[in-house]
Amino acid sequence: MVEILEFERPRKRLFLALLALSLCVVAGIVYAVWHVSYLGLSEISRYLPLILGGLLAAVFLFTGLGLVGIVGAILGVPYLSVFQRKTYALINLLFPIAIMLGKVFGFNRRKIERSFIAVSNQIIHQQHLKVPADRLLVVTPHCLQLASCPHKITRDPMGNCQRCGRCDIGALVALAEEMGFHFFVVTGGTLARQTVKKIRPQAVLAIACERDLTSGIQDVYPLPAVGVLNLRPNGPCYNTHVDIAAVRREIEAILLDEEKD
Ligand code: SF4
């Protein structure tokens, strides 16, 4: 099946709406459990249902404020660091429910993941993250390399890619040379995690499909990871491409201008 990525702008509000709905569903379930156990708890102590109810309400309030914090972060409103730290914990917790609810409302998983990536990128940009080039790691999947290319570019694309121009790896190698960031081609999540461990970057820019970016961004947290979607004119995982101008824009947005500093 030929798969071409649509260039429609991902709607951040889709993911945020599903996240809010997920929170309401969780709150409803927790309330139902509390209600059912009310009588049993009050037999132990008449204060117990109140104490438990108060605790659950406090957790719900904190989580709700976290969600408000995410919306604030997207709009550029500064929010408390305690909520910043919990942002992805909250997202990780509610993400499977958001996907399920999305399916109920007829949104496919990929569209929701695209919306999540847009939300995550926006949060990072609003934090005005700036890192030196040698602390930025750019990783891309192996499928970006031309399938018939004989050169082994995983682990050492800078040394082994001949920059023949037949796939986008050459352009990324040239960009890495020009800008000075670390660039690696990885064959899967394990190698990606090993590379992050080895390089110890301050930020990551990952090029991949919706599924891999979503899990990767959540995996490396609290390390900030910007995601750029790959293009798949030949179907998934085969001779994929990336918009090099978009990659350059994203990198320029997070690179520290060393001449100024
Ligand atoms: S640009 Fe590099 S990786 Fe791509 S086909 Fe040419 S030599 Fe192979």
Pocket perturbation via mutation, ligand 1, pick of 154, 162, 240 by most ligand atoms within 8 A of CB: 162
Report residue 255: phi and psi, to 5°: -80, 135
Q: Which ligand 1 atom is nearest residue 148's CA? A: 5
Residue 4 forms part of a structural domain: no
174 lines ligand 1 (CB under 6 A): no
List the beta strands (DSSP E) in 31-176. 136-141
Question: What is residue 83's predicted lDDT score, i.e. its pLDDT?
Answer: 62
151 lines ligand 1 (CB under 6 A): yes
Query: Quick one: 118 and 153 in the same domain?
Result: no
Reduce the DSSP state of residue 232 to 3 states and report it: coil
Question: What is residue 2's predicted lDDT score, i.e. its pLDDT?
Answer: 41
Query: Quick one: 120 and 173 in the same domain?
Result: no
Nearest CA to ligand 1 atom 6: 164
Structure tokens given for 20? 């809010």
Domains in the chain, number: 2
Q: Which ligand 1 atom is nearest residue 164's CA? A: 6
Residue 94 CB partners (closer than 8 Å, separation 6+): 19, 22, 23, 26
164 lines ligand 1 (CB under 6 A): yes
Query: Quick one: 141 and 92 in the same domain?
Result: no
Which of residues 82, 111, 126 is at a domain's end?
Answer: 126
- Report whether 126 contacts 74 (CB < 8 A): yes
Question: What is residue 82's predicted lDDT score, i.e. its pLDDT?
Answer: 60
Residue 71 forms part of a structural domain: yes
Which domain, by its residues, includes 154? 133-254
Q: Which strand (E) or helix (H) includes residue 215?
A: helix 210-220
Task: List the chain pLDDT tens, one digit each, 261 residues.
Answer: 444 444 456 678 899 899 889 989 988 998 998 999 888 888 899 899 999 999 988 888 888 877 777 777 777 666 656 666 667 777 878 888 999 999 999 999 999 999 999 988 988 888 888 999 999 999 999 999 999 999 999 879 999 999 999 999 999 999 999 999 999 999 988 888 899 999 999 999 999 999 999 999 988 888 999 999 999 999 999 999 999 999 999 999 999 876 555
What's 153's domain CATH number? 3.40.50
Structure tokens given for 139? 């990783």
